[in-house]
Amino acid sequence: MEENFNPVARTRANYYTPGSPVQFVCVELLKGDVSGEHAVCLTFKNISKVTLTALEIHFKCKGVDGVILCEDRFEYRDLEVKPGEMFGMDDAVFVTSKAITSVDVSLCNVYNGKRVVHLDAIKRVRLPAPKRLSAELEKALEVRMNRPELKYQPQVFENGWYCACGAFHPKEEDTVYCSECGCDRILLQNALNTLLQPEQPAQTEPELETPLAPQPEQEEPTRIMGAAPVQPAQEEPTRIMGAPRRPQPQEPAAEPTRMLDDGMREQFPDRAARAQAEEGTRVMPAASRRAQPVAQQPEPDYEDNEEYEDERDSVAETLIRWVPPITAVICAAVALCGFVYYQFVL
């Protein structure tokens, strides 16, 4: 007599086998509508690039008190599983009237025609538990992605990634599309990031009125960053630039008149005598004297410079005194000679 089995519970695998061409996906517990017995069905997925023809597994079923109810090997034969397809959900590996609490599955051998891959020695890796979304965020994500049963937060790990539907895709699968719900991993993550951001008030132009009713948001799978509000340009007061003030030439400071004191007269007697013979008072500039320290100006150099200036002044005074009379005498002699030549010779 045929009997219908209805699904009672479904649990995803919490571990995977690294490097295997096939992965254990989930375990389902079915109950017969006539006998009331429980049937255990396992689901696997081909994550390789070739077609699989057979699979050998080892399973272990435990009851409520932790007692092993069944431990055996099971073979899936005469398969033709394409890459990315799932299989095994229609075959019951164990049927019992007792309640089952857990099922442990180990992959043994995978066949591709005559080629076989042995997986007994590969150590299984336990997966972290997926993070459950809040009820509000779950509904918002389902509406935005237009997919049902998106209950978990998408996560990316070193060995694979979790989809929002709870399916785990190992890195050997090498895909960004979920084979169970069809979501794109990148679009799914962008949609969730958009929902997690706090809502920003609608930005309007300064002269427009703010609408009373909120505008409905457009459903976009890709996150779009809003542009920054444009600030109106503020008029800057006119600045009056005055004419630049030209620097005024500074007049040289008047230098005091240097007088020969008694000490200087005794040290330089010739200089004092010449100073008395000249007319007026001679002014000596003191700026050049102050520019250098006194220690760097020895007295012999100072005396030589003064004597050189005095000799030059005496020559100039002599020329100024005698050149005009001599010039006048020469001009008179030339005129007299010319007059005599024109009067007596011609």
Series of mean pLDDT values for 10-residue runs along the chain (346 residues): 81 90 93 88 94 95 89 94 92 90 93 92 89 91 89 90 91 88 90 78 46 47 42 48 50 49 57 50 45 47 48 74 88 88 75
Instruction: Report pLDDT for 61.
Output: 93
Question: What residues contact 1, with CB distance under 8 A and at least 6 apart?
Answer: 34
Instruction: Report pLDDT for 314.
Output: 76
- Directed axis angle between helix 185-196 and helix 135-145, to 10°? 130
Instruction: Report pLDDT for 195.
Output: 87
Instruction: Report pLDDT for 261.
Output: 55
Instruction: Report pLDDT for 282.
Output: 47
Calculated CA dihedral for residues 18, 23, 26, 31, nearest 10 degrees: -140
Vertex 37: Cα angle to 43 and 11 (nearest 5): 30
Handedness of CA 145, 149, 152, 158 (dihedral sign): negative
Neighbours of 177 (CB within 10 A): 15
Helix (H, G, I), strand (E, B) or coil at 312: helix
Instruction: Report pLDDT for 267.
Output: 58
Residue 22: which of 185, 178, 173 has the closest Cα? 173
Alpha-carbon Rg for the chain, nearest whole angstrom, is 57
Instruction: Report pLDDT for 340.
Output: 83
Bridge partners (DSSP) of residue 107 are 57
The whole-angstrom separation of Cα 42 and Cα 98 is 18
Look up the pTM and report it: 0.54
Maximum CA pair distance of the chain?
181
Bridge partners (DSSP) of residue 344 are none
State the DSSP code for 294: G
Instruction: Report pLDDT for 222.
Output: 39
